[in-house]
Amino acid sequence: MKNRVIAAFLLMLPFFVSAQRGERSPEIEAFRISYLTQKMDLSEDEAKIFWPIFNEFQKEQTALNKERNQNMISFRKIPEIDNLSDTEVQTLIMNELNFKQRNLAIEKKYYYKLKSNLPIKVIGKYYRAQETFKRELLSRYKKGGPERN
């Protein structure tokens, strides 16, 4: 088990470096990696396959989110919808739908990469762990932050 954690950490090192450049919260990402490692219980061989694909997936999602935040006007940036024309509101909605479509395309791409390299049950564990991670993270923040248990 110790070897698995070490192997997972070494495979995740490039991800931690990119996280420290401000792309994502390093604390949350470290918690995510730890959580996924524990919940998925990958063999050493599975970890060697999973983590590089996961890193590519995270990199693409980060790039898409960065593009969205830089280039698209979103509902978060608009103080009052009533002050916009119908065309402007429609553009905002279509931009948001296009972003979601591109995000879904990325998710499907990496699902198929995982599926072609790992057993489907391992992938199922990943999807389940992602969902339970979100709930756990939300629960921790409700209790006062990620550093609390």
Q: pLDDT, tens digit, for every residue of 74-87?
A: 666 677 788 888 99
Return d(Cα 56, Cα 4) in angstroms, integer: 20
Measure the CA–CA gap between 88 and 20, rounded to whole angstroms.
36
pLDDT of residue 88: 86
Which amino acid would we find at residue 132? T
Whole-number Å distance between alpha carbons of 145 and 143: 6
Question: Strand ranges (DSSP E) for 91-143?
Answer: none
pLDDT under 50: residue ranges of the chain: 2, 4-22, 148-149
Q: What is the DSSP string of 12-43?
A: HHHHHHHIIIIIS-HHHHHHHHHHHHHHH---
Give the pLDDT of residue 95: 86
Question: According to the model, what pLDDT value does residue 47 have?
Answer: 95
pLDDT value for 20? 36
Tell me the domain boundaries of the chain.
2-142
Rounded to the nearest angstrom, the gap between the alpha carbon of residue 8 and the centroid of all alpha carbons in its chain is: 17
On whether the CB atoms of residues 127 and 57 are closer than 8 A, the answer is no
pTM of the full structure: 0.71
